[in-house]
């Protein structure tokens, strides 16, 4: 296959290392035919020396292609979250007895799948699905940044829990297979609206890498607004903990509509009491002395599922605030794993995400 097999419909975006276009296959008469796809062009001459990986049959290829080729072959079983309401604990220590498993699928539904790839003398080409679903009443937006911007009154708790849970489970799957994304942000989460809900997919594996025990990264090619405090301090890092920090920033954006930190100085301070980020989170989640709160979404120690934000348990705003604070924990050793994030009480409930 070659790029001339496609008809370019429009440009989607471009960056330092390549560009992205919307395409359709070229029919016998030269006219576009069939569904729309996304093709990412990776400029060969701009691939950094440490961004190559040797493939057992293809030889040296970019890490991005190696990772996406691996992901499209990995089996995934999605748990049907049915955790009982448990106010006494925030992180589940073990899987609930009544948790069931869904059928095994290939590739995680919250990770963008690579359908094909090929190359010529100038580019590598990655072919991926083009998500076309839209939500009635909102702008025809695709990424999470635009989706949040299109909701000036804020997202519902159901939307926050669903989108965050899907992305978090995708990151859990990556980490379970020794892969780190390293550029998690709202613009790298694409939404496809089907069946009355938003289906989230994490995209752009251009900064992804494989992790090995004892190996630390000393370079960062992600987005500074989502960079963990230790990265901003110039420290070496393992990768997984920093993905979780970025998840926390995504969760904060979903809740508050803005990044928690406006500069590096704020980020290295974290969500400390009295900071701008802390105050905004408290205001959004109705937390604080003298604040009566919203009886549908704020919690008390003896609340039942019926008193919470979701009648099936989970999804309460103060639990959401706790989960975000855990992800943005300054002490890397105390930051939860992606698997622990998925087991947090905010994401519990019979309806799952």
Active site residues: 183
Q: Is 44 annotated as a binding residue?
A: yes
Query: Do residues 166 and 194 make contact, with C-beta atoms less than 8 angstroms apart?
Result: no
CA distance 26 to 200: 29
Helix (H, G, I), strand (E, B) or coil at 325: helix
CA distance 244 to 228: 9
Identify the burial level of 82 via C-beta atoms within 10 angstroms of its C-beta, where 0-12 means exposed, 13-18 middle and 19 or more buried.
Answer: middle
Instruction: Quote the Cα angle for 229-322-252, to 5°.
Output: 60
Helix (H, G, I), strand (E, B) or coil at 193: strand
Please name the residues in contact with 101: beta carbons below 8 A apart, sequence gap of 6 or more: 77, 78, 79, 80
Please name the residues in contact with 16: beta carbons below 8 A apart, sequence gap of 6 or more: 46
Q: Which two tokens stand for residue 237?
A: 């890092």
Query: Do residues 90 and 345 make contact, with C-beta atoms less than 8 angstroms apart?
Result: yes
Phi first, then psi: give them for residue 26, nearest 5 degrees: -90, 125
Instruction: Provide the annotated binding site for ATP.
Output: 44
Which residue ranges are tagged as binding site? Answer: 44
């Amino acid at each position: 296959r070659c790029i001339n097999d496609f008809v370019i419909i429009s440009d989607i975006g471009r960056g330092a290392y390549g560009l992205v276009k919307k395409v359709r296959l070229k029919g016998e008469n030269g006219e576009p035919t069939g569904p729309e796809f996304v093709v990412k062009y990776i400029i060969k001459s701009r691939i950094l020396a440490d961004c190559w990986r040797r493939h057992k049959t293809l030889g040296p290829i970019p890490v991005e292609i190696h990772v996406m080729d691996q992901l499209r072959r990995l089996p995934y079983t999605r748990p049907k979250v049915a955790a009982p309401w448990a106010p006494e604990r925030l992180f589940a220590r073990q899987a609930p007895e009544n948790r069931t498993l869904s059928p095994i699928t290939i590739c995680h539904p919250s990770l963008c799948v690579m359908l094909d790839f090929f190359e010529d003398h100038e580019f590598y080409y990655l072919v991926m699905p083009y998500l076309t679903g839209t939500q009635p009443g909102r702008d025809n937006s695709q990424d999470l940044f635009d989706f949040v911007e299109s909701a000036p009154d804020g997202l519902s708790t159901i939307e926050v829990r669903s989108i965050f849970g899907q992305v978090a489970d995708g990151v859990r799957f990556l980490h379970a297979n020794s892969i780190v994304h390293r550029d998690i942000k709202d613009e790298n989460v694409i939404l496809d609206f089907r069946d009355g809900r938003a289906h989230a997919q994490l995209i752009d594996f251009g900064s992804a890498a494989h992790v090995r025990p004892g190996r630390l990264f000393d370079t960062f090619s992600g987005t500074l607004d989502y960079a963990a405090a230790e990265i901003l301090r110039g420290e070496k890092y393992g990768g997984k903990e920093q993905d979780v920090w970025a998840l926390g920033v995504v969760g904060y954006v979903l809740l508050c509509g803005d990044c928690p930190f406006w500069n590096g100085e704020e980020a290295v301070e974290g969500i400390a009491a009295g900071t701008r980020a802390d105050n905004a989170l408290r205001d959004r989640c109705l937390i604080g002395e003298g604040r009566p709160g919203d009886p549908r979404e704020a919690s008390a120690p003896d609340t039942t599922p019926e008193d919470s934000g979701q009648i099936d348990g989970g999804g309460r705003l103060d639990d959401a605030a706790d989960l975000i604070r855990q992800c943005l924990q300054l002490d890397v050793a105390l930051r939860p794993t992606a698997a622990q994030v998925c087991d947090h009480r905010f994401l519990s409930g019979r309806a799952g995400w």
